[in-house]
Structure 1
Amino acid sequence: ERKLFPFFDSAYQGFASGDLDRDAWAVRYFVKRGFELVCAQSYAKNFGLYNERVGNLAVVVSDASLVAALKSQLTWIVRGMYSNPPAHGARVVATVLGDKQLFDLW
């Protein structure tokens, strides 16, 4: 009706309740209700990786045929900002999230 598009900024996931899943409730609720949306997630705060510019952008669409075009456009946007993004922080996050023991300690 009002043509609004949900954009979630998840910079402090885990800080509100102390639980990552609980703090992501709103995003999951919108997805479950069938909304298309964007969710920007930063790891600067909850991983203590300040100045590393680590995060991700999740785009939820209802039509899978849109994925290739979205990926293409987002790639052009990112490429215009930097040719080679910083990798150190991303590797730290990938290591922690990919290892159950490290994840549990985090």
Structure 2
Amino acid sequence: MKNIDEKILMTEEEIKQLQNKRKKLISQQKQEERKKRDRRIYEKGAVFESIFSTSKDFTKDEFYQLITFPNIKEAINQKIKKIIERREERENPNTENQEEETDTEE
């Protein structure tokens, strides 16, 4: 009976260790994601400031007003869609060719 109790205790300890390891890995993953997000925000903010150098002294509200200005917002959204479409076309050029080949083989 003592042997089984010891095995149970050892197994419970292993479970605790694995749970702690899982928590640590999740925390590490979240930290890496935060770093990527921070870097992305810094880079995009720097690009914005380099294009609109006079906006460096804008407050958060002034910056938001500029970015959400209806004409600018619509123009930027259209440009974003075009960029995404071009990217998808570059990444998937063979998809259309494969579909055409399949149609001609049948």
| TM category, shorter | under 0.3
Comparing both structures, which one devotes a greater share of its residues to strand? 1
Task: State TM-score, norm by structure 1.
Answer: 0.28
Which has the higher Rg, Structure 1 or Structure 2?
2
**Higher RCO, 1 vs 2 (CA within 8 Å, ≥6 residues apart):** 1
Give the TM-score normalised by the residue count of structure 2.
0.28
